[in-house]
Amino acid sequence: MIIRNGLIVTAHEEFVGDLAIADGKIACIGNVRDERAQVLDATGKLVLPGVIDMHTHIDHWGGSAKTDDDFFTGTRAAAFGGVTTVIDFAIQRPGETVQEAVRRRRSEADGKVCIDYSLHAHVTGADEETLRSVPAIIGDGYPSFKMFTTYKKAGFKIEDHDCLTLMRHIHDHGGLVMIHAENDSMCESLTETMLRADTAVPARYPDSRPPIAEAECISRMLLFAEYTGATIYIVHVSTRQGVELIRRAQKSGLNVIAETCPHYLLLHRDRYLEEDGYKYIMAPPLRDEEDAEALWQGIRDGVISVVSSDHCDYRLDKKVAGRRNFTQVSPGIHGTEWLLPLMYHFGVGGGKMTRQQLVRLLSHHPARIFGLPGKGNIAVGMDADLVLVDPSARHTITDSNHHMQADFSPYRGFELQGCPETVISRGEIVVQGGRFLGGRGRGRFVRRNPALRI
């Protein structure tokens, strides 16, 4: 296949040219002629590396409900949005070892995924069995380990000392620690107080998980990172205070990597005041406009290296359970399909970043940080995971014009310019002109390497 005459955007340059694909890999870039090849005319289109959504919760049990997608519908929706690789989680269930959780998640994904995927391991305690299994898990191609500092009731939370022990241990074996940073005791106490006063309504939800809960936890994790020498990755940073703490830590030489998500950049806490404010129950909660500004600034100056979706796909019938009491729903919001369109429109279109920065945030950085071989950029020999974007195409988000399972959109009414038109996974067109051409189960598990520097 030859992709003819597109604006090829890599992590560090862009130019108009052709790109040839053979055996699922990028075979040649430049001015390519081959009469036998299938030609895709990309005149006027952008050719980007496929997006790596390194933070999804597909087919996920959230503590009180299961998401409505599975690895087929979840990865198909991702593909429609220009995502060609997802990294999901193997969240430990009570009584399950880390290796059992990984095996279970592999069996849930294999045969269903339609783009490539990997898994982050998840650890809840520093018991002998977990410590012993860490090198083997890394060796098997899962070099990143997630810890939740909250969600005690769901059984996901790690205690501080176990977190410290694991941070050192994982680092010593070449792994990367990912942290969901919220002070659980603050969030639980505030929630309990609201429950007792019968005020745990969506409008009060952000006050139950305030910025100080994120800031305190990030600063504790930075201290742990300094103490252990570990590189840590803070997921879904949502506050100005969080960005500032990480900025200072990076300046002082700590190896801390930060991620945020489109909803923290584009939606604010006033959403909880809407009649259907329960739709936005997610952790951490939506914040103020000034937090979003600080996050955009963090992206601009490189404090934040990755934007992911934190995709968690619940239908309204599950969300509505939180109408009078937000503790009745599992937190989370869907969004893998909108990750690229939103970041292209508001980031590049809004003059907040260049196209190459976009490629770094959504593809190149995740590939390097999470050790995905052959992915995340456009270069000869790399996987032909590509997305052709029509920069002039316009599209208004409604509650239903997407392929995720949720029957609503937090971005309803957003008018976007620039849409993924053709999506190619290892040389195969999986989405074209709004049609899914891929196959159930054609995606492959990607065995990852330890992180590279970005």
Binding site for Zn ion (CB under 5 A): 180, 310
Binding partner selected for residue 282 from ligand URP, Zn ion, none, CB under the kind-specific 5 to 8 Å limit: ligand URP
**Counts of helices then strands in the chain (DSSP H, E):** 14, 19
DSSP for 332-362 reads -B--GGGHHHHIIIIIIITTSS-HHHHHIII
Binding to ligand URP, residues 307-326 (CB under 6 A): 310, 312
Binding partner selected for residue 385 from Zn ion, ligand URP, none, CB under the kind-specific 5 to 8 Å limit: none
User: According to CB under 6 A, which one of 180, 240, 279, 287 is a site residue for ligand URP?
Assistant: 180
195, burial (CB in 10 Å: exposed 0-12, middle 13-18, buried 19+): middle
Do β-strands 14-22 and 2-9 pair in parallel, antiparallel, or remain unpaired? Answer: antiparallel
Burial 67-78 (b: 16+ CB within 10 A, else e): bbbbbbbbbbbb
Distance (Å, rounded) from C-alpha 445 to C-alpha 86? 10
Site string for ligand URP, 184-223 (x = CB under 6 A): ----------------------------------------
Give the residue with the Cβ less far from Zn ion, 48 or 58: 58
Distance (Å, rounded) from C-alpha 236 to C-alpha 77? 21
Closest CB to Zn ion belongs to which residue? Answer: 180
282 scored as a contact of ligand URP (CB under 6 A)? yes
Which amino acid, 260?
T
Residue with tokens 């849930």: 108
283 scored as a contact of ligand URP (CB under 6 A)? yes
Residue 432, CA atoms < 13 Å, CB-side half-sphere? 10
Give the residue with the Cβ less far from ligand URP, 282 or 362: 282
Cβ of residue 261: shortest distance to Zn ion, in angstroms? 9
User: According to CB under 6 A, which one of 202, 242, 331, 410 is a site residue for ligand URP?
Assistant: 331
Binding partner selected for residue 331 from ligand URP, Zn ion, none, CB under the kind-specific 5 to 8 Å limit: ligand URP
Burial 19-54 (b: 16+ CB within 10 A, else e): bbbeeebbbebeebeeeebeebebeebbbbbbbbbb
Peptide bond preceding 94 in cis form (omega within 30 of 0):
no
Give the residue with the Cβ less far from Zn ion, 89 or 346: 89
Pair 308, 55: CB distance under 8 Å: yes
Site string for ligand URP, 33-72 (x = CB under 6 A): ------------------------x---------------
Give the residue with the Cβ less far from Zn ion, 180 or 271: 180
123 scored as a contact of ligand URP (CB under 6 A)? no
Residue with tokens 């590189």: 231
Cβ of residue 391: shortest distance to ligand URP, in angstroms? 31
105 scored as a contact of ligand URP (CB under 6 A)? no
Binding partner selected for residue 332 from ligand URP, Zn ion, none, CB under the kind-specific 5 to 8 Å limit: ligand URP
341 scored as a contact of ligand URP (CB under 6 A)? no
Summarize as ranges the residues that interact with ligand URP (CB under 6 A). 57, 180, 282-283, 310, 312, 331-332
